[in-house]
Structure 1
Amino acid sequence: MSYDSWDDGGLTPLEQAAGVWNLIYGQCKCGDCDECALREENAQSKRKQKLEGSARFKDASKLVGGLARNHDIKLALLRRIHLDSLDVAIVRYMAYEALPAYYAVLLKSPQCIERLIEGLFVKVCHIAPTPDLSDDILHLSSALCSNPLRQTAYERVGYMQRFIHDTIDRQFGNGAALALPAVPVKNALAAARLHLSIADANRSADYIEQLDAASVRAMTAEYAEPQYFAAPQGKRAQTRWRVRHMRPLSYYFPQDHRNLLMSIRIIDEQLPREQFIYEAAMRYASR
């Protein structure tokens, strides 16, 4: 058996303490002596210099260089991380929700909500479009996207769902919406949540952080105390079913991106501005 893969080099603790490692391999590996401390210090210095010279460090410094407040610096970097993570999150969300690939064409379209609702009405419910109905759909879409009350994507899609149900009930009688086929409705609502989340990620930094935090709070509260809801016809209600729909888009970011969001969020805003910028840029570059 070779000792090359052993961390102790095949030496006993007594032999390591006596310096046999150093005699055989040319450097100490105890981790406690001055030589080890100096070697670790040199390694950290090299890592630091590498990060300071990286494109990510320079990009972060340039991004926040003109901002006066540490809070605004933090928000700007958090927004950049959201935008950096967006494409991966879209792919992961679509896979998790089993959304057909053709929905990808709609997701970034300004008319996404209108097309999703109209598609359900025409293709699934066979409701002929009218000028009044089209106007109602347009007004709803505009309100959901503008979001003056800063509600989460889950909350806003709840309005869309109620609009669909109310329209169908008016057309075919009270309770008709309960007979809707589950899959096309599920897909439309999931696509709407993703569309709104994508649009939200392109807004101001404080807006993004506020909605992300609100989504996490709602998800945590629902998980702790699930609210009762009536399951669709022929389905059994599942506890905490809403939790998966309440998740912010950041839930689907790569793990290192989520870790970076947390790392930036906890930087002390009382630091001097230049020190704060340096610390934030270093953390951004270290991802």
Structure 2
Amino acid sequence: MSYTYDEGNYVGSGAEDIWFHIDSLEGESDSKIEKREEHQAELEAKWRERRRSFIKAVAHLKTSDEIRTKTIQKILNDSVDFLANKHIAAEYLNSTFADLAKQNKTLPVMIRGVLKESLGPAFDDSAIKRRGGRWGYQGISERINSLCEEIYRNTEREIAYIRVSKVQRLIHSIADEKLGEGSYLKLDKPLMRKLLSAARLHLNLHDIDLSP
């Protein structure tokens, strides 16, 4: 295979012609270089902020053991926060769900919010007897709080995915009781998906906080 130069291109001769435009050999365009430099500047700014934060966190500590413990805690917290933000971005969670997922014991707030959005005027706290009598005569808020307490205690050591399925069953049950049999099928699917995703993140963060 031989190559000749022809008006800004290398032209191959032989069984097939292969073209290499000179521009592609000159490296990145100005816009790409600018974007890369902006990204690098952002990373450096974040690193400086983390360094300042860490120095502030350990400045009052006196022993190497205290500093070591604080360092490990800082690394773990940063890692958890990074993974949480990655989950939020991957699941396209809005700021409301993202903020609630990171706060302490906000699962009841998320469930009530979705039920109010889904049921509209049908949402109220009146007592409804669930078939089978598990809930007895309890209002919606009481049922939500009861389930969430059970989920947070997690005496059976269930993973977040299983506990979130209980949230889904409760919402489906309340929708059917308020709006009629099979009404859970008409619930806003994207909203439910975001709730369940936020709930999984929330419970995983909760479990990490409780771990020894």
Q: TM bucket by the smaller chain?
A: 0.5 to 0.7
* 1:156 equivalent in alignment to 2:163: yes
1:134-192 deviation digits (Å, cap 9, x = unpaired):
11100111111111111111010000000111111111222110111211101111111
1:84 deviation in Å?
A: 3.9
1:97 deviation in Å?
A: 0.7
The correspondence of residues 16-35 of structure 1 with structure 2, limited to 5 A, is: none
The gaps in structure 2 that reach 5 residues or longer are: 1-57, 59-63, 127-138
1:169 and 1:176 in contact (8 A); partners too: yes
Aligned-partner SS, 2:81: helix
User: Which residue in 2 is equivalent to 1:129?
Assistant: 124
The correspondence of residues 242-261 of structure 1 with structure 2, limited to 5 A, is: none
Which amino acid counterpart does residue 124 of structure 1 have in structure 2? S
The correspondence of residues 189-268 of structure 1 with structure 2, limited to 5 A, is: 189-205=196-212
1:64-102 deviation digits (Å, cap 9, x = unpaired):
xxxxxxxxxxxxx7x876434111011100011111122
Between the aligned residues of both structures, percent identity stands at 30
* 1:146 equivalent in alignment to 2:141: no
CA distance in 1 between counterparts of 2:76 and 2:182 reads 41
User: CA separation of 1:153/1:103 partners in 2, compared to 1, >3 Å: closer, same or farther?
Assistant: same
Which amino acid counterpart does residue 174 of structure 1 have in structure 2? E
* Higher strand proportion: 2
1:120 deviation in Å?
A: 1.3
User: CA separation of 1:137/1:85 partners in 2, compared to 1, >3 Å: closer, same or farther?
Assistant: same
TM-score normalised over the length of structure 1 = 0.43
Which amino acid counterpart does residue 196 of structure 1 have in structure 2? L
CA distance in 2 between counterparts of 1:168 and 1:125 reads 7
CA distance in 2 between counterparts of 1:190 and 1:59 reads 38
Greater RCO, 1 or 2 (C-alpha within 8 Å, sep 6+): 1
* 1:185 equivalent in alignment to 2:192: yes
Aligned-partner SS, 1:202: helix
* 1:110 equivalent in alignment to 2:117: no
1:165 and 1:177 in contact (8 A); partners too: yes
Q: Superposition RMSD on alpha carbons, in Å?
A: 2.5
* 1:101 equivalent in alignment to 2:101: no
Aligned-partner SS, 1:125: helix
The gaps in structure 1 that reach 5 residues or longer are: 1-54, 64-76, 206-287
CA distance in 2 between counterparts of 1:60 and 1:155 reads 38
Which amino acid counterpart does residue 125 of structure 1 have in structure 2? L
CA distance in 1 between counterparts of 2:188 and 2:112 reads 16
1:112 and 1:192 in contact (8 A); partners too: no
2:102 and 2:202 in contact (8 A); partners too: yes
**Which of 49, 72, 83 is the aligned partner of 1:89?**
83
